[in-house]
Structures are given as C-alpha cells and as structure tokens.
C-alpha cells in the first residue's frame, strides 16, 4: 500500500480546510495548531507539506526540522514570516493564498474610512460605557464631496475606490504600474504626481510592502498634506512611518487615522494606541468568516496538489527544472531575473513588453528563461502577487508582449539582454557571467558598463559636458550619501550614462534634485 503524504497544519484555519484535507485518502493530516512552537519541530519532521499562518516563522530552524518538506503553504497573503531564499536553497516551494481576503480587506478599509470621519468607537464608548448622552460633542464630517487619495490601484485599492465613489467621494489614484485608463474608465482621476494624493482630504494605501513603499508617507509628505487630513492603512505596517504619523496626529495636522497594521505586531505598546484621534484594529484585514473559509479551502487545495507533486498554485519560488538545462545556464537564471528587475525600475511605468535577446550558446535557452524575466520585470509593481507559476498568465492578462531572439556575438561569449518596453520608452539592460558564477551588468540602454547587479544605485543619463560628475558628487556629499563606486559610460551622440553605487537609500527629494541638475536628462534610483 502506497504511503500517505503528510500535511501538518501548524496554525488555526477554518474547519472547511480540515474537512477538505480529511477527505483525501492519500493524505494524512496532522493538526498541530495547539502544539507549542518550540515543540513543532518534532511534529513536522516527517511532513511533506506544512500549512502555516503568521504565528509560525518559516525560517532556518523550521526548515532544519522539516527535512522532508517539499512545500509550505502560507494561508494568507503576506509572506513576511517566510524566508523565501532559504526555502529556495533547500528546494522547498513556498506558496501563499493571495486573493481570498480581498473583499474582507476592502470592507475593513471602508469601516476605517467611515470611522475616521465619524469617530464611531469613541461615540460608542461615550454612550455605552460612560452612559453620557452628548450629541453636541460628536460632530464628524461627511464623505460626500471629499477627495480620497488612493495609493495603489490593484485588487483592493480599485474596489475601495468603487465603494467610496458610491458615497459621493472624488477619487484620485496613484499607481505608476497600471495603465491610466484603468482609473479614468471608472470616472476617476489618475495622477503621476504624488503631491496630488497629498492634497486629498482622505488618503488610503493598498500596495505591497517593498523597498519603494516602506515609509512612502513620512514627515515630509505629511507636511505637504491638508490640515485635518485623515489617513487609513489596512495594507501593511510601515508603509506610513509610525513616528511621523504619531507626530502628525499629536499636532492635529492629521485629524484622524484608521490603522489596522503596525510595523511590529502584536502592537501592544505602540505609541499610536495612546492617542485619542485614531481608530485601531489588530490586523483584521482577513478576519471575516467568509474570507477565513476561502483561505482555508485554497490553502488545503494547494497543500494537496503540492503533496502529490501535481502543481504548486501561487508558488513564490518555483524553480525551473534545472536537470533539463546544462550547468553553465544556472547563474544566468538568476541574472536574467535581476536585470529584468533592474530594467523595470528605470522608467517605473506600466510594462507593455518583455523581450530577451541572447548571444552565444546561452541564446538557445532564452525561452526557458522568459518566465524568470517576467517575474523580475513585474516584481517591482506586483510584489508577492507575481510568481513563477502565474507570470505568463499575468503577462497575458495585462497584454504584455513577450519574445526571444538570438543575436550575433557582440564581444561576449555569452550574453542576455532584457528589453522592457513602456509608454515612456524602452529600458534595456544586458548582462553576462564571468567564470562560473560572476554576474555582471555590461550594458544599459546601449551604453557599455561593468558592475555587479547588486545594491543601491543611481542611474544618471546626461549631456557629455564638463562638470557633471562634480555636480553629482557635490550633491550626494551634501546629503551624506557615500559613493561606493562610480561607473561612467560615453556614447557616440554627446551623451553619457553613469551608474553610481551608494551606501544609503535615495530619497524622492534627492532624486528630484538630481533630475534638476544642469545637463541631466534623467536620473533614477535602482535597488537590487
């Protein structure tokens, strides 16, 4: 008799998930939801698949214990507690359940939107707990006729917009990674100027948490806002800088805030809790009976498929079948994804096409690497919502054109160039591998260069005239930005391109100043 596959459920899920797992004759399900975390290693030692939620960290300790694991399913959207790199190194496929809680998150946002306008929790306590009938104290404001700024117009942000519009609000959306007509076709305003968001009466955010979005609202942004602005965050903790948020709430610059997520959770000692002009909830974005059932069912279905080795829905790190490829291709798999990610950051615009050009022996495998190029290109805008399984489907849904092409060798034995076309232009990044695994970027938009695809950098195109390097260096020095490396490439048309590797993050304000330097054509920050 064939041995059953073992699925361990480490954290609480809806009973429907257990029912689904229990119906499968080839699956043995183990309920470890009440097992202490320090004892969990004994339970998962023989597991083939583990289902977890936020209380269980999928880290080195967990993976050391689960030596037989082929996959882990994070029953929810966020994967902050999953070490994807470590999973990949061990051949463990990590999956999540990205869409089951969409409506729940949308409706919680609306609850906070109304709460910030009418202060319901405080009114409730005044009457029910303190038994005070003080109608004259509790004046709120109406949503009708107010401007709602929405940062991120994906599955959740767009649905919030539709519901808020039904309240008579005017919607202004900021999302550089979507076509503008996705907003304008709904009778709403699309903006590329973040200051338009800051001028709104209410602001809500619905983006992934990444290097670009952490602290997207900071002290400088709050200073530009209207007096009496109201902020909502039901997405991820840390998108609004919490120190700046507290300061703004204390000063009255921010009239009210509705917060469901925090930088560190559980947030029992967060100073936000001490304020009387904020409504808070303990990360309840997915906490509806309907969404919990959907999450459990989808997680169970994914675990069953993974245990059988059939497929890996919403896999975040699904590796290519390397046994079908020669060994020398392995470093190019990572390289192609990196240079695609880099190219996507050059213009930060909706992607119209992703194209790979190969030179030398590697060109034969360009089609095999196209998925990795798509994941790299779309990661900047979609975060955890893009993966190796759904990349081609997402590209098709977004009408992104793809192609591969073989070119004559141009100076390197092997080279891949990724071209990402946008409405602003084509971003082109070429790379090669020296020795066995030394990855290098060797061209950007036709300019020859040579650096490792790693770290914080500024890409700066300019007119090739004296004084440009000095002006860049002086500005960076004034901002206490240390230059780690400075690569300059000259073209044949009186233009030059510099790649400046730096030790610190580049702020929006600094990037704006770089773009305003004399003889600058464009400047962009890139992080790999």
Reported as a pLDDT band with limits 50, 70 and 90, residue 79 is confident
Run of H or E including 163: helix 155-166
pLDDT above 70 for 1:
no
pLDDT of residue 42: 92
Give the pLDDT mean for 354-381: 91
Which two structure tokens, joined as six digits, stand for 491? 């073209």
Across 24-29, average pLDDT: 92
- Is the pLDDT confidence value at 472 over 90? yes
Average pLDDT over residues 352-363: 95
Sign (positive/negative) of CA torsion 348, 354, 359, 362?
positive
Residue 102, both tokens: 């969409």
pTM equals 0.80
Better-predicted residue by pLDDT, 60 or 323: 60
Per-residue exposure over 222-245, b if at least 16 CB sit within 10 Å of its own CB, e if not: beebbeebbbbbbbbbbbbbbebb
Q: What pLDDT score does 321 carry?
A: 59
pLDDT tops 90 at residue 91: no
pLDDT > 90? residue 76:
no
* Interval 447-463 mean pLDDT: 93
CA angle 490, 496, 498 (to 5 degrees): 100
CA dist 332 and 438 (Å) reads: 10
Q: Is the pLDDT of residue 179 over 80?
A: yes
Please name the residue that has the structure tokens 């914080």: 456
Name the architecture of domain 320-454: 2-Layer Sandwich (3.30)
Instruction: List, in order, residues 6 or more apart from 19 with CB less than 8 Å away.
Output: none
Domain 102-280 has CATH 3.40.50.720: yes
Alpha-carbon distance 340 to 427, whole Å? 9
The pLDDT of residue 384 is 64
Annotation marks residue 236 as catalytic: yes
Task: Calculate the CA 393 to chain-centre distance.
Answer: 18
How far CA 442 is from CA of 58, 417, 429, 431, in Å, comes to 36, 9, 8, 5
Considering the segment(s) 456-528 as one domain, its CATH architecture is 2-Layer Sandwich (3.30)
Domain map (residue ranges) of the chain:
5-100+289-308, 102-280, 320-454, 456-528
Q: What is the pLDDT of residue 319?
A: 60
Residues in Cβ contact with 365 at an 8 Å cutoff, skipping those fewer than 6 apart: 325, 329, 332, 358
Angle at 517 between CA 512 and CA 519, to 5 degrees: 130
What mean pLDDT value characterizes the chain?
92
Residue 265 annotated in active site: yes
Catalytic, out of 159, 206, 283, 355: 283
Is the pLDDT at 10 greater than 90? The verdict is yes
**Model pLDDT for residues 190-222, shown as the tens digit of each residue:** 999 999 999 999 999 999 888 889 999 999 999
| Predicted pLDDT at 411 | 86
The pLDDT assigned to 235 comes to 94
**pLDDT on residue 156:** 93
For residue 301, indicate whether it is catalytic: no
The predicted pLDDT at position 324 comes to 63
Task: Name the residue with tokens 């689960």.
Answer: 66
102-280 matches 456-528 in fold = no
Q: Which is catalytic among the residues 206, 230, 236, 349?
A: 236
Residue among 135, 92, 154 nearest 397 (CA) = 154
Q: Which of 243, 265, 364, 509 is catalytic?
A: 265
Q: What does the block give as tokens for 336?
A: 């192609």
Termini Cα distance of the chain: 49
Mean pLDDT to the nearest integer, 98-117: 94
3-state secondary structure of 329: helix
- For the chain, what percent of residues have pLDDT higher than 90? 77
The pLDDT value given to residue 429: 97
Q: Do residues 457 and 487 lie in contact, with contact meaning Cβ atoms separated by under 8 Å?
A: no
Query: 5-100+289-308 domain in CATH 3.40.50.720?
Result: yes
Q: Is the pLDDT of residue 323 over 60?
A: no
**What is the DSSP code (8-state) at residue 137?**
G
When comparing pLDDT for 319 and 280, which is higher?
280
């Amino acid at each position: 008799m064939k041995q059953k596959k073992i699925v361990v459920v480490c954290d609480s899920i809806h009973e429907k998930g257990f029912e689904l797992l229990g119906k499968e004759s080839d699956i043995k399900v183990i309920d470890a939801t009440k097992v202490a975390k320090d004892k969990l290693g004994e339970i998962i030692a023989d597991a083939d698949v583990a289902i977890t939620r936020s209380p269980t960290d999928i880290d080195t300790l967990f993976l050391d214990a689960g030596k037989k694991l082929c996959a882990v399913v994070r029953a929810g959207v966020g994967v902050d507690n999953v070490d994807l790199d470590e999973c990949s190194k061990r051949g463990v496929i990590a999956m999540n359940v990205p869409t089951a809680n969409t409506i729940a998150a949308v409706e919680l946002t609306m609850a906070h939107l109304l709460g910030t306008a009418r202060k319901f929790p405080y009114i409730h306590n005044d009457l029910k707990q303190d038994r005070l009938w003080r109608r004259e104290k509790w004046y709120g404001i109406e949503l009708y006729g107010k401007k709602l700024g929405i940062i991120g117009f994906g599955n959740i942000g767009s649905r919030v917009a539709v519901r808020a519009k039904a309240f008579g609000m005017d919607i202004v959306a900021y999302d550089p990674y979507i076509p503008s007509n996705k907003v304008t076709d709904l009778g709403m305003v699309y903006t590329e100027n973040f200051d338009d968001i800051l001028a709104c009466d209410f602001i809500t955010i619905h983006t992934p948490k990444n290097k670009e979005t952490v602290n997207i609202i900071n002290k400088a942004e709050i200073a530009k806002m209207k007096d009496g602005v109201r902020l909502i965050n039901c997405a991820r903790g840390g998108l609004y800088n919490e120190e700046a948020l507290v300061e703004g709430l204390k000063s009255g610059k921010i009239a009210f805030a509705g917060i469901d997520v925090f930088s560190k959770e559980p947030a029992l000692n967060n100073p936000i809790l001490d304020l009387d002009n904020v409504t808070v909830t303990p990360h309840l974005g997915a906490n509806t009976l309907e969404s919990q059932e959907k999450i459990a069912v989808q997680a169970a279905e994914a675990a069953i498929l993974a245990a059988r080795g059939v497929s890996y829905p919403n896999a975040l790190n699904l590796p290519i079948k390397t046994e079908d490829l020669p060994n020398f291709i392995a470093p190019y798999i990572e390289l192609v994804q990196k240079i695609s990610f880099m190219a996507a950051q050059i213009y930060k615009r909706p992607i119209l096409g992703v194209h790979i050009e190969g030179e030398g022996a590697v060109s034969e495998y360009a089609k095999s690497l196209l998925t990795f190029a798509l994941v790299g290109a779309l990661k900047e805008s979609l975060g955890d919502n893009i993966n190796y399984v759904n990349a081609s489907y997402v590209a098709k849904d977004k009408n992104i054109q793809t192609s591969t092409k073989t070119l004559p060798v141009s100076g390197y034995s092997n080279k891949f160039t990724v071209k990402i076309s946008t409405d602003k232009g084509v971003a082109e990044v070429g790379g090669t591998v020296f020795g066995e695994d030394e990855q290098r970027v060797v061209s950007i938009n036709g300019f020859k260069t040579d650096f490792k695809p790693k770290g914080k950098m500024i890409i700066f195109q300019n007119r090739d005239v004296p004084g440009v390097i000095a002006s860049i260096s002086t500005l960076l020095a004034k901002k206490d930005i240390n230059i780690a490396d400075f690569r300059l490439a000259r073209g044949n048309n009186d233009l030059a391109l510099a790649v400046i590797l730096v030790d610190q993050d580049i702020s929006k304000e600094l990037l704006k100043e770089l773009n305003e330097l004399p003889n600058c054509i464009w400047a962009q920050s890139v992080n790999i």
